[in-house]
Structure 1
Amino acid sequence: MTGHPGETDEFAPADTPATARPVWAAFRSQVARTPDATALVIGGVSLTYRRLDHASAGLARLLWQHGLRPGRVVCVRTQQSALSVVALLAALRTGATWAVLEPDLPVDRFEALCRDVDCAVVLSEGGDAVPASVLAAMPTPPTVVDAAGLDLTRLVEAGRELLTDPYPPVPEQTPAYVAYTSGSTGVPKGVMVSRGQLAASISCRGPVYGTEHAVLLIALRLSFDGILGGMFWSLTGGHTLVLPDPRQLVQVAEFTRLAREHRITHLFNIPSYYRAVLQDPGGLPGTLRLVVVGGEACTPQLVGAHSERLPGTRIVNEYGPTETTIACTVETDPDPTRDRVPIGRPWPGAQTLVLDERLREVPAGERGELYVGGSLVALGYANQPSRTAERFVADPYGRPGGRLYRTGDIASVDEWGALHYHGRTDDQAKIRGTRIELGEIEAVLERHADVEQAVVLCERAGQDEPQIVAFVLPTPGSGPPDAAELRAHCRGRLMEQATPTLFVPVDHMPLDRSTKADRAALRTLVPTDRQASAGTPGGDWSGHRLAVGRIWADVLGHARSGPDDNFFAVGGSSIKVIDLHDRLDERWPEALRVGELFDCVTIAAQAQRIADRLGEPTQGDGHTAPATYEL
């Protein structure tokens, strides 16, 4: 609830883990009702409800033979595919727990998983996904199953032969999945969510998403827990779930083509990605009824652009940390004329309170820390009892034994009873839909031999997306570390969104009165003449590469980008992509579409694409980096 303890509102609690229908039972009922309806489309593969059920039965038997049991975990370390979705259903089927860690996620996430839980099986994609050296260091390493050796058709045939499931029933309090997020100490945290909490999150979505048959497209990766709400709402409601493969996800034009091909009715994506989707000239299909955004702040500008481009399509804004099971609040009618878009009101079964430091409710309009209670609060952090006790606290307003999750988010309640988000109380940030812990970046930087200490800030300029700035104190006797070397060091250990945009060397770290790093003083050290420094990129550049590099420098406000640097890792954002496109288009009309800039994300790639379109030589090294738009 929002407001004073004991009050109710239009989102009064309804389904709880005790009454929400179990997700697995709901899926099997749908299989019985519409066995020949299309359940899943991904990567050129289409599965009916019957075939999806049989595939999960076949894979469940295989994983069971390799030791998967209730209380144990299967780690899905594969690229997004039909098999990875089948693996989640197989885990539900056996009563076990899943954790999705795609191969491009840092290996320390996998190491943390194996420390925190009983990982029985890893569904792996190639030898690099699970390094042999990591397995050798474990006292009881999990069994690695090579996904390349699994044929989906054979899994369907194997599952068809099974008349009954031999797996024991498990209580709804059993963990359904573990989702890993950044940790302030540099150690990732595994959030455990029960089967009942997942069911409660799914059961309340019908009134917002609608009851008519839907074709739902989700622009997220399986490792991002935000995908699960729409995914299981679709699979338990008889709808068609469409997921992009990795290539379609990073290429906006391909993504919108996928939307038109399948005549989608529902779309879920994060706001920064949706900005690019709205810019794609191909456009979304006229069948679209609902757009759901979540994962980062939604702005009035985005809602206005949506309303202008798709006036007959509703847009909904969801909010919720991983610890509150996918999402805990929803704004069903955002107004683009207001100063900010609310995060809305709690889902049925959830409770929200804005409290001060003494856990007293603050008056409407005043800011405090947002606490979430009710049926969506996760079980806690795997193998981290002290962190669990710190963030999951006793509920002084609810039932005996109830808990509240301290979100660390600053919020207020407006005169209409809607919640508004005002930033973080700690050092977390959300960049392009991914939660980033600044302490994790500091810990990674301090592992570099030339860095004595690192302090990382998240800076926002105007309406632009936040940027990561790292202040680095060199080790005694060494000079300032090279920014390119530090960026390369971070790339091997952090996701792209967490790689600092700017590295600022300091000869000493300023301290405040409590002897902590003085962040206010550090902010004064951020260069203010970055636009003035924009000019000719360094190095032996020529031709299109030199011209594109100069445009990058103008857009980013600095000339420190290498030819293979990712635009989003050196200060780019979805807003700056539009500026970049306008400048490139002025120089080379219609040579590049705005959506392609989420594919060609380096100077070298853009110069090569322009040269190819114009039928001209690049007059320089035309090396093209792989497309990366991290979600």
Structure 2
Amino acid sequence: MPHETDADRSGRPETVPEFLAAAREGTMAAPAVIGDRFLTHADLWAEAGAIVERLAGAGVGPGDVVGVALPRGADAVVAIVAVAATGAAIAPIDPGPSGSLIARAIGRLSALIVDDRPPEVVDAPTAIAMTDVRGAAPNEWPALATVRPEDAAYRIQTSGSSGEPKSVIGTQRGLAHRLSWRRDEIESSTAESGAWLLLSAPTFIDGITTVLGAVGSGRPLAVATDDELADLDRLVELVRRARPSSATTVPSMLTAIVAERPDLVGSIGEWVCSGEKLPPALARSVADAGGSTLVDSYGCTECAGDDVRGVVSGDGAGVGGSVPGMTARLLDEYLHPVPDGCVGDLYTAGPQMARGYHAAPGATAVRFVADPSDPDGGLMYRTGDRARRVDHGRIEIVGRADRQIKIRGIRVDPATAEWALESVPGVNEAAVVAAIDDGRGRLDGYLVVDADAEAAVDGETLDDRIRRLVPAHLVPSTLTRIDEVPRTHSGKTDYRSLPAPAVQERSEEPPATETEQAVARAYADLLGVDRVFRDDGFFHLGGDSISSIALGSRLSRQGFVTSPRTVFDHPTVRALAAELDRMTADAPASAEPVDDGSAMSAAGLDDAALAALLGRFDGELG
């Protein structure tokens, strides 16, 4: 039963359920999800309908917040679509141990969707297990409550300058507007007629908009699992099967793909880069690969993810103009416009703007301010970025007006990293400094710890514990122990008095086994280190989650069996080599590092059958 909603004057839907309504009436036999499970649109809507029925039965609807604590995969897609269809707010939560920090920022949940059982760290009155809805048969949807444009559509955690992270309350109008102009854009394009590739995590706004945008536009969605992101060879296999025409990712991830699997770049017609400043060298590499259009996108969770974007030309110049319906303003400290070519503070305004931050009126008042150019007294969002207008109106980002920094596309305030570190047992106090290394954001951490906190518990050191409990983008590249945090006369942290980051003491014991030697060579090649010793750690040498993807891909091509968590749980050469030997020995004899198509077998589709099915609907999707 459709929701009772009104379209805006442009004819675009003003709520997400209305945006999705047309897709429910589309070609049900067409592919919807290609990944760890294959789903047609009929399958997708049947499973989503089963969730909707359970949510409606529990009285969950507009005004409620529903958590989605699922890993990357088809289940997450189904759950996100189901929550959006009810008009409730989507609250994505990392299903791992670090999810507790995100859940605290999001606040009370009315329901939670999980794989089979709720995580202990997240509480909700109603829990729905995906194991109970997989393979559900189509059924009549229950009557659903009216959704208003001003109702919440998502509640997503973001960084906060006060330390503890906040959650953004995005509106139905804002998210529907963002999804609608993108659908209009692709429907008017003759180039983009295939599947979309989901590389962004569904816990962030880019992942949410990719899922809902593909489903609402009737496009197949190729979903890369954590295992496929950790092994670029397996990602290539997914791309070969799904033939996506568009993918969105952060520049650092695309840089890793260009370096490790350049053949993958030209096989996708459109690459959208967001979350980080686009390096000109990357733009040139994509141009050299041929066959792809590169789009640079700038946005934030507070404005539904995309505010400014543009096609990147051969000179590598990034970003561009405002997206449809949004306005970007460059203002001075008195909120007066700055002349073209001059640097000002970047503000955005328009229908995509969020309501503010959950339970944080002070932070909302600081960021969502009166728009002096709006005679109706509207608001605009102060992004915290500094920018200038060049080249006939193109907006170029030049830096930040605060301590925040982008870490692999995620906006991070060092104060939030400090708060996260101090939540780890054994850490009494923390200080974190942001830095830029070769154009990439980095955090350096300083810890005051308990005397007995360094002792390993069940083989887990304090550093291991931090990497397990703290979200990856908040884990500093270096962790230096200090006796106390230096203070100014007013009692604030004196960041200028912190010492230089500690250099890890190196035993200089050479790699002993053949596997250790292979791991050491991979570390050296990827991280630009002359010599790698047996007890050197990948992250202490400068590695991060993006470079760990390239590492997994290289090790896989050498015949080792690995997983996304392997290098995080076993970061030293000695430990990783031992784990690789164990995993490779335990793997079935038939296991190969390249996907054998088993992900499709559950649907009874081999490569030829899937290709035929995709080809059958290419005309309808175009």
Please classify the TM superposition score into its range, dividing by the shorter chain length.
0.7 to 0.9
TM, length-normalised to structure 1:
0.79
Cα separation, partners in 2 of 1:449 and 1:40, compared to 1, 3 Å = closer
Cα separation, partners in 2 of 1:479 and 1:241, compared to 1, 3 Å = closer
Confirm or deny: 8 A CA contact 2:68 2:90 kept in the other structure.
yes
Confirm or deny: 8 A CA contact 1:225 1:322 kept in the other structure.
yes
Cα separation, partners in 2 of 1:360 and 1:76, compared to 1, 3 Å = same
Aligned-partner residue type, residue 134 of structure 2: L
Confirm or deny: 8 A CA contact 1:535 1:550 kept in the other structure.
no
Kindly report the root-mean-square deviation, in angstroms, between the aligned alpha carbons of the 2 structures: 3.8
Aligned pairs (5 A) from 1:321-470: 321-335=300-314, 337=315, 341-447=317-423, 451-463=427-439, 465-470=440-445
Find 2:57's aligned residue among 49, 65, 68.
65
CA distance in structure 1 between the partners assigned to 2:184 and 2:579 by the alignment: 46
Confirm or deny: 8 A CA contact 2:60 2:110 kept in the other structure.
yes
Question: Secondary structure at 2:346's aligned position in 1?
Answer: strand
Question: Secondary structure at 1:85's aligned position in 2?
Answer: helix
CA distance in structure 1 between the partners assigned to 2:300 and 2:509 by the alignment: 40
CA distance in structure 1 between the partners assigned to 2:267 and 2:547 by the alignment: 30
Q: Does 1:305 align with 2:285?
A: yes
User: What corresponds to 2:589 in structure 1?
Assistant: none
Cα separation, partners in 2 of 1:228 and 1:78, compared to 1, 3 Å = closer
Cα separation, partners in 2 of 1:599 and 1:440, compared to 1, 3 Å = closer
Report how far residue 16 of structure 1 moved: 6.7
User: What corresponds to 1:571 in structure 2?
Assistant: 542
CA distance in structure 1 between the partners assigned to 2:117 and 2:584 by the alignment: 41
Residues 126-184 of structure 1: per-residue CA shift (max 9 Å, x gap): 446234xx64xxxxx42222332x14222x33x2xx1x641122112111111112334
User: What corresponds to 1:77 in structure 2?
Assistant: 69
Find 1:176's aligned residue among 146, 149, 153.
153
User: What corresponds to 2:135 in structure 1?
Assistant: 153
Residues 292-341 of structure 1: per-residue CA shift (max 9 Å, x gap): 111222111111111112x1211101111111111111021244x35xx4
Report how far residue 279 of structure 1 moved: 3.2
Confirm or deny: 8 A CA contact 2:256 2:547 kept in the other structure.
no
CA distance in structure 1 between the partners assigned to 2:382 and 2:271 by the alignment: 29
Q: Does 1:125 align with 2:125?
A: no
Find 1:214's aligned residue among 180, 190, 194.
194
Cα separation, partners in 2 of 1:377 and 1:568, compared to 1, 3 Å = farther
Confirm or deny: 8 A CA contact 2:80 2:208 kept in the other structure.
no
Residues 202-240 of structure 1: per-residue CA shift (max 9 Å, x gap): 222256545342211121221111123333332222222
Report how far residue 568 of structure 1 moved: 4.8
Cα separation, partners in 2 of 1:113 and 1:470, compared to 1, 3 Å = closer
Cα separation, partners in 2 of 1:332 and 1:536, compared to 1, 3 Å = same
User: What corresponds to 2:604 in structure 1?
Assistant: none
Aligned pairs (5 A) from 1:159-308: 159=139, 162=140, 165-206=142-183, 209=186, 210-212=188-190, 213-281=193-261, 283-284=263-264, 288-308=268-288
User: What corresponds to 2:616 in structure 1?
Assistant: none
Question: Secondary structure at 2:167's aligned position in 1?
Answer: strand
Aligned pairs (5 A) from 1:87-106: 87-104=79-96, 106=98
Question: Secondary structure at 1:454's aligned position in 2?
Answer: strand
CA distance in structure 2 between the partners assigned to 1:93 and 1:322 by the alignment: 20
CA distance in structure 2 between the partners assigned to 1:107 and 1:280 by the alignment: 31
Q: Does 1:43 align with 2:43?
A: no
CA distance in structure 1 between the partners assigned to 2:331 and 2:26 by the alignment: 46
CA distance in structure 2 between the partners assigned to 1:366 and 1:92 by the alignment: 41
Question: Secondary structure at 2:63's aligned position in 1?
Answer: coil
Which segment drifts farther, 73-82 or 32-41?
32-41
Aligned-partner residue type, residue 147 of structure 1: M
Ranges in structure 2 where 5+ consecutive residues have no aligned partner? 1-6, 586-622
Confirm or deny: 8 A CA contact 1:323 1:378 kept in the other structure.
yes
Question: Secondary structure at 2:393's aligned position in 1?
Answer: coil
Ranges in structure 1 where 5+ consecutive residues have no aligned partner? 1-14, 136-140, 616-631
Cα separation, partners in 2 of 1:559 and 1:179, compared to 1, 3 Å = farther
Find 2:508's aligned residue among 536, 543, 562.
536
Aligned-partner residue type, residue 438 of structure 1: P
Residues 374-395 of structure 1: per-residue CA shift (max 9 Å, x gap): 1111111122222211211111
Report how far residue 285 of structure 1 moved: 7.9
Aligned-partner residue type, residue 607 of structure 1: A
Question: Secondary structure at 1:390's aligned position in 2?
Answer: helix
Confirm or deny: 8 A CA contact 2:247 2:271 kept in the other structure.
yes
Confirm or deny: 8 A CA contact 2:94 2:102 kept in the other structure.
no
Report how far residue 596 of structure 1 moved: 7.8
Question: Secondary structure at 1:258's aligned position in 2?
Answer: helix
Confirm or deny: 8 A CA contact 1:112 1:187 kept in the other structure.
no
Report how far residue 488 of structure 1 moved: 2.8
User: What corresponds to 1:8 in structure 2?
Assistant: none
Question: Secondary structure at 2:44's aligned position in 1?
Answer: helix
Which segment drifts farther, 394-403 or 345-354?
394-403
Confirm or deny: 8 A CA contact 1:256 1:280 kept in the other structure.
no
Q: Does 1:314 align with 2:293?
A: yes
